[in-house]
Structure 1
Amino acid sequence: MKFRLATGMSILGLLLSCGTALAGTLEGPLQIIVSKDLQELKIYDGDVVVATSHVSTGKAGHSTPTGIFSILEKKRTHFSNLYDSAPMPFMQRLTWSGIALHASNSVPSYPASHGCVRLPNDFAKTLFSVTRRGGHVLITDREIAPQEIVHAALFKPVVVVPDTPILSEAGLRPGLMEAGDKAVEVAMTDPKPEVLTPIVQKTEQDPIRILITRRGDREMMIDLQTLLTSLGYDAGVADGLHGKQTVIAIRAFQLAEGLNEDGMVTPELLTAVYAKAGKGAPPNGQILVRQKFKPLVEAAITIRNPEIALGTHFLLARDVDSDKGKADWFGMSVDNQLPSATMKRLGITTEADATQPDALTKTLDRLDIPADTRLRISELMGEGASLSISDTGLGPETGDGTDFITVTRKVQKADAGAVEGGKKSKKKKKSSVTVIN
């Protein structure tokens, strides 16, 4: 704790002095959290607050989305192409659809932007100098703070014996990267950039980003196709599509096993195929890893008590020591109300409550990660590794050139209407992605 506090104080001194010349020597991941209810941004080094600033988020009709984001692009000079070429200096982009942190001459103590997070000029300049692409930014409806989390499910680095093949050399199925099929109007004047050189000195390797979520239909179908082919029922290329060849293979299996020969994918079919292949029960979760915005690992895991929501959580690893095989994890739970249709589709009957002090620990208790998968990810562990947990998988904002982005929905109170523009409204309001102001 003494080392962490000393580091925090040095960063605080840097921020207060706006000493950008010193920024190149700063190492170590910072955690940026924007609280919409307080209109405030805090920077954490571990669980220590090292700097605070007031901000102005999106006004009514242009609400700033909440969730887990990372810095995708940094530009010292930028201008809006939707709002009279308004200057947006020290812009740090959080989504390709148009949300960013940036400096402004107008930062009132209330929501006033068109969706971005406005920062005072001096603070925005200094923040720009001490962040790097890939650094995480959380935007929340209420104030939250990271706390140190100790749990056996969390990853620690491992020391690989020289001249011994490591699992990271093995090829695993790449992750799905779909940015959605709907066009989104953005306020950016430039195309998506190539790789940018970070302002802050790089550590030994770029940190990995881990996502734990529920297994989707595509992943289930790929596994089904693979297992059917291994059992002698040629399902064709394992592409996750319920095509003609896959239907033929399913019907052949159903006929041989005395099942209803309809070619449909059902829980009963999955259970039967997994049992026949000697693979136990079908996995219901998945873990994905990215590094430098590119997919590295995708593997199946098991989520116990799947009828209970995982919730939305974020953890960041500090003081990662490969020699000692240790890492300090700091985590927090984020409010996120799932739509009733999503809960029904995922078979969730019990919602998550991020306000419970043990919400994150209880979720970690329910994760069973295979030993080989855990070993491979542990081999990739380094300073600043992060772990996101979410029920909803890869959303439309997670795509090519991003980390895992989770957009959350505000938790609605049953006995109160949502407040918008100072007036109560009974209509539920959910976070949406808006354009840069």
Structure 2
Amino acid sequence: MHITLRIGLAVLIVSAPSAFAAGTKAPLQIVVSRQQQSLVVYDGDTVVATSNVSTGKRGHTTPTGIFSILEKRRHHKSNIYSNAPMPFMQRLTWSGIALHGSNHVPDYPASHGCVRLPSKFAAGLFKMTERGIHVVISDRQVTPVEIVSTMLFQPNQSRPPQPPMSDVPLRPALSQLEGGSVEVAMTDSRPAPWLLDDDRAPVRILITRRGMMETLRDLQMLLTALGHDAGNPDGHSGPMTLAAIRSFQTAEGLPVDGQVTRKLVEAVYRKAGRAVPPNGVLRIRRQFQPLLEAGITIERPEFALGTHFLQFQDTEAATGQGKWFGMSLDNALSKATKHRLGITVDADPMEFNALQRALNRIRVPDEVRQSIAGLLADGSSLSISDTDTGLETGEGTDFITITRPVTGG
């Protein structure tokens, strides 16, 4: 659904200070539109505050996607732009993208990558937010709506969560921006990850397709167990892995090409007497730390899932049930990515019930659902994407999903 917020924007800006003064602690989410040059703060599907912004100019484009606030600093200066002041800085990536106040916020993209806010609004927003609050940046204006689906998790019929997974990969945070430098919000020493003693902190759930790293990691373990030493099962192909694949292919009378194909994977699993794992994966982080990983099934995998974001809140004490509010984002996959994932039909985020249709294709094992039910708290979120989170997800982050806008032909 395409919604334009320019009409009435001034009225909402005027009303923003009263919302800030209220000091609401409801699970909020922030949506930035690059086309509208606007920022909207939502409590569920209710607008709390809004403002004009200035995003990155050509050559320093602000990335679109799903982020969360990683760090807050009332007083901050840019490392690379002559110590330019960046008051009320709220960091979105460790590579340098942030929300911050400025005395120069024109109604067009003018920053070096960050999202500039009017100084007074930035101060009020800083008081309202906490680390971990989600920020969605999109080209077109998107708005959360309540989503009802049997696939969505609810905190009932729960059981104790599974132990933390020790093999969830943490990748370094590197920029995926379009060339050039950015308005970096960096410090010399990174603060410790957000660690709380409260086991009711909101969790971050990611559903995506099973990637090559997971496939290769399991393949390495199985090959070694079958007597073909593939070395350390790290999910990266190296000389030992290549030699192990060729050894297996020779022993089984298969074409010896050293390639990881679907037929090879099926042959290895069949030889090991195991079923091929599902084609999707569900990961959970809490307080910026990996917590759980499990296999899930994506039906009709030739159809793209699209990219969607949902947040859980408004839990009723009487029923223990809460509401999910979601939105769909543009994300144009490259031909190479679609070929690698076996996608032949693109997702259309403007399609009626696009998010609902994506949810209907996801199958999560009952035991996993039960574990997630025991973890849910107000402010928990669910991201769905065909591609993994990329290099911005790393130590001290939630799942960060970088998207690419759909462009005309």
Asked if these proteins are the same fold (TM beyond 0.5), I'd say yes
SS in 1 for 2:110: coil
Amino acid at match of 2:102: S
Q: Structure 2 length normalisation: TM-score?
A: 0.86
> What does 1:346-385 correspond to in 2, within 5 Å?
346-385=341-380
Q: After alignment, is 367-376 or 40-49 more displaced?
A: 367-376
Q: 1:32 aligns with which of 26, 30, 33?
A: 30
Pairing of 1:161-310 with structure 2 (within 5 A): 166-169=160-163, 171=165, 173-180=167-174, 187-188=184-185, 190-195=187-192, 205-230=200-225, 235-243=230-238, 245-247=240-242, 249-251=244-246, 253-310=248-305
| SS of match in other structure, 2:322 | strand
User: Given the superposition, is the C-alpha separation of residues 208 and 192 from structure 1 closer, same or farther in structure 2, using an over 3 Å criterion?
Assistant: farther
8 Å CA contact retained: 1:68, 1:136: yes
CA distance in 1, matches of 2:38, 2:284: 31
State the alpha-carbon separation in 1 of the partners of residues 199 and 281 from structure 2: 28
Identify the range of structure 1 (201-210 vs 359-368) with the bigger mean alpha-carbon deviation: 201-210
Corresponding residue number in structure 1 for 2:327: 332
1:200-241 CA-to-partner distances (Å, cap 9, x unmatched) read x99873211111112111100122233345556554543223
Q: Quote how far apart the aligned CAs of 1:176 are.
A: 3.7
Report the Cα distance in structure 1 between the residues aligned to 2:175 and 2:72, rounded to whole angstroms.
26
Residue in 1 aligned with 2:18?
Answer: 17
Unaligned runs of 5+ in 1: 1-11, 415-437
Of 124, 127, 139, which residue of structure 1 is paired with 2:125?
Answer: 127
Code of the aligned partner of 1:54:
N
Q: Residues 387 and 262 (structure 1 numbering): CA distance in 2 closer, same or farther, change over 3 Å?
A: same
Aligned residues: 394
Asked whether the equivalents of residues 251 and 263 of structure 1 are also in contact (C-alpha less than 8 Å), the reply is: yes
Cα pair distance change 1:408/1:135, threshold 3 Å: same
Say if 1:323 and 1:390 are closer, same or farther in 2 by CA, change over 3 A: same
1:167 Cα deviation (Å)? 4.2
Letter in 2 for 1:29: P
Range with bigger deviation, 40-49 or 76-85:
76-85
- Distance in 2 of aligned mates of 1:144 and 1:401: 27
**CA positional deviation for 1:382:** 1.1
Deviation at 1:172, TM superposition (A): 5.7
After superposition, the CA RMSD in angstroms is: 3.0
Identity %: 53
Is contact 1:100-1:116 (8 Å) kept?
yes
The two structures have a TM-score, normalised by structure 1, of 0.81
One-letter amino acid of the structure 2 residue matched with residue 404 of structure 1: F
Partner Cα separation in structure 1 for residue 337 and residue 240 of structure 2: 30
Aligned partner of residue 320 in structure 1, secondary structure: coil
Cα distance change of structure 1 residues 56 and 383 upon mapping to structure 2, 3 Å threshold: same
Amino acid aligned to 2:63: P
Query: Letter of the aligned partner of 1:227 in structure 2?
Result: L
- How far has the Cα of 1:329 moved from its partner? 0.7
> Which of residues 315, 318, 321 is equivalent to 2:313?
318
Map residues 404-423 of structure 1 onto 2, 5 A cutoff: 404-414=399-409
Structure 2, gaps ≥5 residues long: 1-12
